Amino acid sequence: MRKTFLLILLGMLAAAAVAQSGRKGIKPPPPPPPERLSEPPIVVTTERASVAPAELTVLPESILKHQFKALDKGSFSLADFGSKVVVVNIWASWCGPCRREVPEYEKVRKDFAGRGVEFIGLTGEDPRTASDRVRQFVRELNFGFRQAWADRETAGALMNGRNAIPQTLVIAPDGRVLSHWRGYAPGQGGKHLRDVLEHALVDASTPGRNE
């Protein structure tokens, strides 16, 4: 009986040893394979972006005669100021550089009062959702430009496909784009606008230039 008990005990110990050694030899299951996409990832190329669009030299009639809805009331077109040099500043209420640029431009506007220059501000924001924000921007900065809303298509045409803002255009009475620049350089924006306008007014007063 004792011999039988010893045999059973030895058998149990052996089984336990085998089981224990088997646990040590078990390797963790391999990680699952990465999930396969149903479609290949989208690859964005920059080949076309590396070729900048040609600068606008003359505004087409479709832009010159386009009716912009004014912020206050009524509407107007760039062609309404055909005898003047026109400054168009494209801005947005959420644009920090625009906020810093406005005071410099306002000094220029006041200095050129009565000198045959029309200053126009255009925002491409949606009047249905941004009306209060835009009006607050204009009010806080005393932005004295003639202000209007620009639809996406017209704003895109004026920006010539480059969506960076602010952007500024100086347009001769005959529709030629005398200067067009993007962005804001602290302390330089107003000076540059002033220099361009001085040259533009000389250009516009040259006999036979606009015939």
- Provide the pLDDT for residue 162: 83
Q: Is 165 inside a domain boundary?
A: yes
End-to-end Cα distance, the chain: 130
- Provide the pLDDT for residue 205: 75
137 near 93, Cβ under 8 Å?
Answer: yes
CATH number at residue 82: 3.40.30.10
Q: Is 144 inside a domain boundary?
A: yes
**C-alpha 106 chain-centroid distance:** 23
- Provide the pLDDT for residue 68: 97
95 torsion bin: left (phi>0), alpha (psi -120 to 50), beta (else): beta
- In the numeric block, the tokens 């309404």 are attached to 80
- Provide the pLDDT for residue 55: 80
Which residue segment(s) compose the domain that 168 sits in?
61-204
pLDDT, tens digit, 9 for 90 and up, residues 77-128: 999 998 999 999 999 999 999 999 999 999 999 999 999 999 999 999 999 9
The Cα 115–Cα 204 span in angstroms is: 11
Q: Is 12 inside a domain boundary?
A: no
pTM, entire model? 0.73
Q: ∠ CA 128-133-138 to the nearest 5 degrees?
A: 115
Q: Is 1 inside a domain boundary?
A: no
Q: Is 30 inside a domain boundary?
A: no
In angstroms, the Cα distances linking 148 to 5, 27, 91, 145, 165 are: 102, 71, 11, 9, 16
The number of distinct structural domains making up the chain is 1
Dihedral sign (CA 83, 87, 88, 94): negative
Q: Is 119 inside a domain boundary?
A: yes
Residue environment code for 53-87, b if the CB has 16+ CB neighbours within 10 A, otherwise e: eeebeebeeebbebebeebeeeebebebbeebbbb
pLDDT, tens digit, 9 for 90 and up, residues 9-67: 555 655 555 445 444 445 555 554 443 333 333 232 223 444 556 788 999 999 999 99
**C-alpha 62 chain-centroid distance:** 23
Which comes out higher in pLDDT, residue 190 or 55?
190
Mean pLDDT of 185-202: 95
Mean pLDDT of 135-153: 97
pLDDT band at 161 (very low <50, low <70, confident <90, very high): confident
In angstroms, the Cα distances linking 142 to 28, 53, 55, 190, 208 are: 70, 34, 31, 16, 38
Q: Is 68 inside a domain boundary?
A: yes
* Nearest by Cα to 171 from 98, 89, 102, 49: 89
Q: Is 20 inside a domain boundary?
A: no
State the DSSP H helix or E strand holding residue 197, giving kind and residue range, or none if neither. Answer: helix 189-205
The Cα 152–Cα 73 span in angstroms is: 20
Q: Which strand ranges, in their side-by-side order, compose the sheet holding 117-123? A: 75-76, 68-70, 146-149, 117-123, 85-91, 167-171, 177-182
